[in-house]
Structure 1
Amino acid sequence: MLIFFPTPYPDELLYSVCARYHVRSGNISYKRTLDDIFENRSLTASVFLPSGISSLVKSINNIKTFNEQKVIYKHTMFLFFTAFLSEEKSQQIYQSMCSDDGKAIYVRAGINASGVPQNKYLRFCPECMKEDKEKYGEHYWHRIHQLPGIHCCLKHLSPLYNSAVRTVQENKHRFQIPTSTNCIEAKESCVFDGVKKETKSAYLHTAEQLAPYIQQITNDPLQKHGLQWFDQKYRSKLVEMNMAYYTGRVKQKIWREYFSSFYYKEVLQLFSSSLSNEGDWLSMIVQKNRKSFHPIRHLLVMSALGLSLEDVFSREIEEPFGKPNWYCLNTVCQYHHQPVIEEVTITLCEKTKAPIGTFTCPRCRFSYTRRGPDNNERDRYRKTRVKQYGHVWNEKLQEFAGMGLGLRELSRIMGADPNTIKRYLTAVENDRVILNENRGKYIDRKAWLNLQEKHPDKSKTELREINKPLYMKLYRNDKQWLEENSPRTVKRFSAKKVGWEKRDEELLLKAIKIVEEILNSEEKPIRITISRIGSLMGEKALLEKKLNKLPKLKAYLYEKIETIEQFQKRRIKYVIHQMNIRREELDLWKVIRKSGIKNSDKKACEMAEQILKNEIQGINLN
């Protein structure tokens, strides 16, 4: 049992508390300190995720109201590293930290394989050190300063500095407190040493946006979910932003361009989250997989998509047709309006790309589709089209028809329009007639119909040549039926002559009007291309195939269409104009990001810089 133990300060690392105990105890040997606190001389003085917590609590429970959870949650980086891990994985790490065996902790947390390296040195904020000295009379190591990828103090938004204390030391049992000797505020120890001023400014802006996320996941335990929960959340938001389909397939190129426009390339490098190729972490984090990703990368994605922690952790995943089960909508099924359908097949409408759900009752095989997404509970009782009515519906139709019910009454009972009822009853009656007719005639008719299905493009004459005996048999014995059930002769009409000169004049006027509207619009700029003008005119196919027949229109379009550089220039001017209206600060990095210019496009970036410079000079002259 310990006689005393330092009271941990807010956000203080357990490593720091143990270091303060070592100094106050007067111990010379670090192993003696380990023996005092953990009753185990072989433990490692781990900075981020230490083990032996249960032994620590046992040693100090006579002098401190401590428990394992309070120590782990408030004075280690457990909550940060496990925020996006499953309940099972988090509990394994928690139990390892409580035990004296911490060998598997970092592997289970996925830290070593995350792609975001741990800091080599303990870090400090000069302003925080000054405040701590004034308030507590001493310095201590803060958790929030040790987060990988975070190079500034989230409280002061000022650069962090590397101390001389390594996070992994040669003497693995050593505890060191922050002092004026090992924490020197110098240019070479500043984390931003060698970083361009513009990059630093952009990084601090991003860090400020991430700060609320980081503060919360570091201090508050969040609801636990499996790995696939998060990629589903991201895809759901991407669908909403038209960067993914309802089937779950992400438009990776569009997603990558959007994300790249949101963050500077150099800023992502500082977060150790650079983009390399189409199969990198950014592509994988929004796909179905069993891989975990570093918390920093999750937060970068969440911030770019405008998702809050509540959106991601607390709210249910939004599906286009909600969650199972779904209702049988067969009015004559005993399970009508009961939730017996457990699965839905989702496809996309080719024209609108809206989700289409197919639902099949497992009891009566009634199958229907519904165009989504569902907006309320009433939509779950709605159907767009019936794919098949199923055996129960057909049996009930014959039963009620045999009772002498009229067409309208049958329509009401069966939940189908009168024409559908009539069609199904006629089909049943035809089947009965066929059974009573000459069996040979039925077989011949069936063979002729099958021949047409097999050769849908053949004429009656061509079909006759394929099976002449069958044709002659039907011609002699069933001529009227043969005429009524053979391919019709297709009449061919010549296309009307097109008045190209008149059309050229008409389309030219439409094109002039559209171009003027594009150039004078207050909305986000769109590039002037032949394809775009054709789409807005409703004549895209004509312009693609017959533009040579429209000489005046062609000359005008080639005069007005924009190169990529011309469009970038117009878009940059639009962004600056909008920023002036909103009285935003005209920072170059903001102009580049809002203009959708890639940081790798040096020519476009230089053009943006020159346009911005001219704009600022114009403002100053005025």
Structure 2
Amino acid sequence: MVSVNQSLALDLTPPITSWLDDETFYSLCCRFHCVFGNALDSKTARQLFDHPQHGTQHDFPSRINIFIDRTHGMFGTDTKELIYKHTILRFYLPWRHKQQAQAIVQAMCDGHAGKIKSLLGLPASRMRANHPLKACPICMQIDMQQLGVSYWHLSHQLPGVWICPTHACALKVSTMKSNGVGRFLWCLPHENSFYAQAPGFNEEVTVRTLEALSNVAAAIFNLDSDTYIDPLKLASTYRQALEGYSLLRGQTQIALKDATNQYLQFTKQLNFAGLDIALPTSQAQASAQLTKILACPPRSTHPLRHMLLILWLFGDWEQFWGVYLQTKRYSQATYQPDPPAQPPIDSRISELVSLVQDQGMAVSTAARKIGIAIQTAQRWASSHGIAIHRRPKTPNQRIKFIVHDLRQGKDKAEVANRHQVSMQTVCRLLKTDPELLARWDKQRHEQKVLAARRTWNKAIGQNPKATLKELRALEPGCYAWLYRHDRDWLTQSIEQIPKHQYISIGVDWVLRDAQLETLISNAASQLKTAGSSRITLQKLYQLEPSFKPFLNKLNRLPRTRLLLEKLLSQDTQQPTIIR
């Protein structure tokens, strides 16, 4: 046995001096443990990380900075470089904003690995965040022949990778670590430590889709360390692809029903029970997933769901990435409709202006010569800065009051009624005085803007949980007017309003209870057949890890609870939640 003190401050060169090809950080530490020959895994952890448990995480290890110090920088002196090259964290970082990604890496460098999964949003994604250890049987055999030891390859551990990129065979899933069994242990891959292959893998379509999924995962991991996948740019990229499949109505609205049907057909190709992705099994589930991924502003979700969408819409990563790089960020301005065509200019206007300005002809005379109404001629002339001299039938004092009210932006009918004149008189004043008309239009527009904003804000205030679609149904006219005349303010007002309401598909607890009861009963039968004299929780979820997340929901699973109580009744070491 190699004698090693707690700090590794040795004059003797450590027995391991370099990384193996494509090796994970956890695998390197496992090799240290094997060579040291320590009886306790905690002793190796203390030697490498100055703690009996820290650093033993197989996916996001902590205290890497202390490891570098203990090994005197033999395996690298840059903590961040070691994280990027030998852990799976780099797969998740492109989906996080640059500042957030830097904070996550720094937390891992400082030894705060316990909060990494929460910072990445994995527990909230409604997908398992355990990252099971995986290995290729052919790689294991070759490693043993050439190196004398099989080890964990980083390319096999990436989320979404179920096919060995070198040998194109199915990866085996370890029975250790990810399911809580041997949580703080050091274990290298060996033949008897894997689950049996999940059914459905050998189907040709499934294998082809899994290979494409593995390629996407590898491409994401190999992106430059400072790459950031902008969610607004991603939303615009998805919409371009949807438009190519005729799944857009207009320029932004998604034909959700048709898209749901096509997406559901695509996911059915992944007929693989071992896949750690919550695939939709109904139209309602597919619709809920698409609504969340395609919502604008985008909502955070697990990268695996984006990977499935990329394969469905683009077929491979290269096609997607080429379109993404050429796409602008999604915004309302990107999809504005073309401006309406301007009406043609009447040639008689220039003729009228020439008769009045160049030949000194009276406006009424020029109007008769051209063949238009005098009021029309006065309006055309006024719009070109020609002063109109008229003999008003309305007293001048009353006209002054009318003009004053019009400059305040008051309604024409209200002004006419107040001053007891006809609507024609008010309209004529406006049409023959360009400055007054412009002032009146401006005041009226500002009043309409304020009124529409008040109405829209009131609708939002009275319905704080409503989606954009629901608010539009409540105030369709107000939304349409603001969209046409005050779009910047409207866009800003709806930034925090969800475009779609994410519908959580309820769980059928009765069905799940029956399924888990059958699952656990089968696992217990296997243990008894194998000659196990004592059934424990650890043995059960080592055989069937899928039921472990439901241990804290046994109050909703009475049949499962009763079965567990029966199986574990003779074991006083079980948690009180079971007894």
Superposition TM-score, scaled by structure 2 size:
0.54
Preserved contact between residue 85 and residue 292 of structure 1 (Cα < 8 Å): no
Counterpart CA distance in 1 for 2:53 and 2:383 is 90
Q: Structure 1 residues 251 and 143 mapped into 2: Cα distance closer, same or farther (>3 Å)?
A: same
Counterpart CA distance in 2 for 1:144 and 1:280 is 31
Aligned to 2:21: 10
Q: Structure 1 residues 118 and 103 mapped into 2: Cα distance closer, same or farther (>3 Å)?
A: closer
Deviations 1:219-266 (A, max 9, x none): 343621343332232123323443225643222122222323334265
Q: Is 2:205 aligned against 1:205?
A: no
Q: How does 1:66-145 map to 2 (within 5 A)?
A: 66-118=77-129, 121-145=132-156
Q: CA RMSD in A?
A: 4.3
Per-residue deviation, 1:438: 2.0
Q: Structure 1 residues 88 and 290 mapped into 2: Cα distance closer, same or farther (>3 Å)?
A: farther
Q: Is 2:262 aligned against 1:308?
A: no
Aligned to 1:437: 391
Preserved contact between residue 34 and residue 40 of structure 1 (Cα < 8 Å): yes
- What amino acid is aligned across from residue 247 of structure 2 in structure 1? M
Deviations 1:365-396 (A, max 9, x none): xxxx2xxxxxxxxxxxxxx734999xxxxxxx
Counterpart CA distance in 1 for 2:21 and 2:211 is 21
Counterpart CA distance in 2 for 1:21 and 1:177 is 11
Aligned to 1:53: 64
Residue 114 of structure 2 aligns to a residue in which SS?
coil
Per-residue deviation, 1:295: 2.0
Q: Structure 1 residues 40 and 387 mapped into 2: Cα distance closer, same or farther (>3 Å)?
A: farther
Aligned to 2:157: 146
Preserved contact between residue 6 and residue 21 of structure 1 (Cα < 8 Å): no
Instruction: Give 1:318's match in structure 2, choosing from 327, 347, 352.
Output: 327
Q: How does 1:489-568 map to 2 (within 5 A)?
A: none
Instruction: Give 2:49's match in structure 1, choosing from 26, 38, 48.
Output: 38
Preserved contact between residue 55 and residue 63 of structure 2 (Cα < 8 Å): no
Aligned to 2:341: 385
Instruction: Give 1:288's match in structure 2, choosing from 286, 291, 296.
Output: 296
Counterpart CA distance in 1 for 2:197 and 2:378 is 78
Counterpart CA distance in 2 for 1:158 and 1:265 is 18
What percentage of aligned pairs have identical amino acids? 21
Q: Structure 1 residues 69 and 440 mapped into 2: Cα distance closer, same or farther (>3 Å)?
A: same
Q: Structure 1 residues 399 and 316 mapped into 2: Cα distance closer, same or farther (>3 Å)?
A: farther
Q: Structure 1 residues 429 and 267 mapped into 2: Cα distance closer, same or farther (>3 Å)?
A: same
- What amino acid is aligned across from residue 205 of structure 2 in structure 1? A
Residue 131 of structure 1 aligns to a residue in which SS?
helix
Residue 205 of structure 1 aligns to a residue in which SS?
helix
Q: Structure 1 residues 65 and 470 mapped into 2: Cα distance closer, same or farther (>3 Å)?
A: closer
Aligned to 1:255: 259
Q: Structure 1 residues 146 and 27 mapped into 2: Cα distance closer, same or farther (>3 Å)?
A: same
Residue 113 of structure 1 aligns to a residue in which SS?
helix
Per-residue deviation, 1:116: 2.9
Instruction: Give 2:271's match in structure 1, choosing from 267, 276, 279.
Output: 267
Aligned to 1:190: 196
How many residues align? The count is 367
Q: Is 2:189 aligned against 1:178?
A: yes
Aligned to 2:170: 159
Counterpart CA distance in 1 for 2:205 and 2:160 is 14
Counterpart CA distance in 2 for 1:292 and 1:43 is 29
- What amino acid is aligned across from residue 174 of structure 2 in structure 1? S
Preserved contact between residue 19 and residue 175 of structure 1 (Cα < 8 Å): yes
Q: Structure 1 residues 165 and 61 mapped into 2: Cα distance closer, same or farther (>3 Å)?
A: same
Where structure 2 has 5 or more consecutive residues not aligned to the other structure, the ranges are 1-6, 346-351, 360-375, 403-411, 414-419, 426-579
Per-residue deviation, 1:160: 2.2
Per-residue deviation, 1:426: 1.8
Counterpart CA distance in 2 for 1:439 and 1:424 is 16
Preserved contact between residue 116 and residue 149 of structure 1 (Cα < 8 Å): no
- What amino acid is aligned across from residue 86 of structure 2 in structure 1? H
Aligned to 1:428: 382
Q: How does 1:16-27 map to 2 (within 5 A)?
A: 16-27=27-38
Aligned to 2:235: 231
- What amino acid is aligned across from residue 212 of structure 1 in structure 2? N
Preserved contact between residue 310 and residue 317 of structure 2 (Cα < 8 Å): yes
Preserved contact between residue 6 and residue 20 of structure 1 (Cα < 8 Å): no
The answer to which structure has the higher strand fraction is 1
Counterpart CA distance in 2 for 1:65 and 1:73 is 12
Residue 280 of structure 1 aligns to a residue in which SS?
helix
Per-residue deviation, 1:191: 3.1
Q: How does 1:464-483 map to 2 (within 5 A)?
A: none
Preserved contact between residue 378 and residue 388 of structure 2 (Cα < 8 Å): no
Q: Structure 1 residues 168 and 434 mapped into 2: Cα distance closer, same or farther (>3 Å)?
A: same
Q: Which moved more, 1:16-25 or 1:146-155?
A: 146-155
Per-residue deviation, 1:268: 7.9
Q: Structure 1 residues 225 and 139 mapped into 2: Cα distance closer, same or farther (>3 Å)?
A: same
- What amino acid is aligned across from residue 116 of structure 1 in structure 2? M
Q: Structure 1 residues 317 and 400 mapped into 2: Cα distance closer, same or farther (>3 Å)?
A: farther
Deviations 1:38-68 (A, max 9, x none): 2233415111111212222222234344422
Higher relative contact order at CA 8 Å, sep ≥6: structure 1 or structure 2?
A: 2
Aligned to 2:306: 298
Counterpart CA distance in 1 for 2:78 and 2:327 is 38
Residue 133 of structure 2 aligns to a residue in which SS?
strand
Preserved contact between residue 37 and residue 56 of structure 1 (Cα < 8 Å): yes
Preserved contact between residue 132 and residue 174 of structure 2 (Cα < 8 Å): yes
Per-residue deviation, 1:296: 1.9
Residue 234 of structure 1 aligns to a residue in which SS?
helix
Preserved contact between residue 34 and residue 41 of structure 1 (Cα < 8 Å): yes
Where structure 1 has 5 or more consecutive residues not aligned to the other structure, the ranges are 184-188, 325-342, 348-354, 357-368, 370-383, 390-397, 406-421, 447-452, 455-468, 475-622
- What amino acid is aligned across from residue 196 of structure 2 in structure 1? C
Preserved contact between residue 59 and residue 131 of structure 2 (Cα < 8 Å): no
Counterpart CA distance in 2 for 1:48 and 1:470 is 83
- What amino acid is aligned across from residue 114 of structure 1 in structure 2? S
Per-residue deviation, 1:399: 12
- What amino acid is aligned across from residue 385 of structure 1 in structure 2? A
Aligned to 1:377: none
Residue 191 of structure 1 aligns to a residue in which SS?
coil
Aligned to 1:608: none
Per-residue deviation, 1:166: 2.7
Counterpart CA distance in 2 for 1:403 and 1:61 is 94
Q: Is 2:225 aligned against 1:219?
A: no
Counterpart CA distance in 2 for 1:24 and 1:312 is 44
Q: How does 1:320-335 map to 2 (within 5 A)?
A: none
